[in-house]
Amino acid sequence: MVDGWRSDAFYEARRDELEKRVGPRRFKHSLGVSETAEKLARVYGADETAARVAGLLHDWDKGYDDPGILARADELGMELDAELAAMPRVLHGLTAAVALGRAFPELPPEVLAAVERHTLGDAGMSDLDMIVYIADALEPGRKGKVVEKLREKIGEIELRELFLEVYAYWVQLIMERRHPIYSKTTEIWDSYMPEQEVYRAEANPDPIPYGRP
């Protein structure tokens, strides 16, 4: 029998809580992300349970409206810079990671990191981070030609390559929808480019390897 956060009992209890925290559409999306993340973990050799749990929990705080999520960040004692404070839509990943870590201390840091990074992405994302990020975009409820094409690439291309394709697609979508672009987006993108890898290796004799949690 499996105990703690890996157990079916933990998953089912969080799933039932989530159903009360978000609307039915978001709840269905979360189950889709959980399923897709588990599948991606199987395909790419990552921790399937961690992926399933992180996928389920990634939108834990998505039920708040804009003033609500700002108040939530404040309550959690999070210091937001002016840019993030002006982008309430992306904050739910950050607040969820903090809140879940406090409410369920048994959740490992890698699961919380994947929840935290699912909106903005980051440099040096782990396989699990990338899996949840990709699953958020490609779960069965997401429609469209681009999404379908990307879905077909699961298992056909490397995880990092699939992540970059999904990341590029999201940045484009943000621009098309006339939303603000997070200022660290190019920095994050460049951190995955081989040219920058060489540059960083030269600039820093002890570079941080990619994939570090």
In terms of Cα–Cα distance, which of 162, 192, 193, 166 is closest to 43?
A: 162
C-alpha distances (whole Å) from 70 to each of 78, 115, 181 are: 10, 18, 19
> Taking CB under 5 A as the rule, which mask of x and - marks residues 182-201 in contact with Fe ion?
--------------------
**Using the rule CB under 5 A, which residue among 59, 61, 116, 129 binds Fe ion?**
59
Residue 151 sits at the vertex; the CA angle it makes with 135 and 191, to the nearest 5 degrees, is 60
Q: What percent helix, strand, coil does the chain show, rounded to 5?
A: 65, 0, 35
The residues in 89-108 that bind Fe ion, with binding defined as CB under 5 A, are none
- Indicate whether 61 belongs to the interface with Fe ion (CB under 5 A): no
How far is CA 39 from its chain centroid? 15
Smallest separation, CB 139 to Fe ion (Å): 8
| Site stretch for Fe ion (CB under 5 A), options 54-62, 123-131, 142-150, 195-203 | 54-62
Cβ closest to Fe ion, residue 46 vs residue 91:
91
**59 or 127: CB nearest Fe ion:** 59
Within residues 132-151, the interface with Fe ion by CB under 5 A covers: 136
Supply φ then ψ for residue 61, to 5 degrees: -105, 15
The stretch near Fe ion (CB under 5 A) out of 37-45, 59-67, 74-82, 100-108 is 59-67
Number of residues forming the site for Fe ion (CB under 5 A): 2
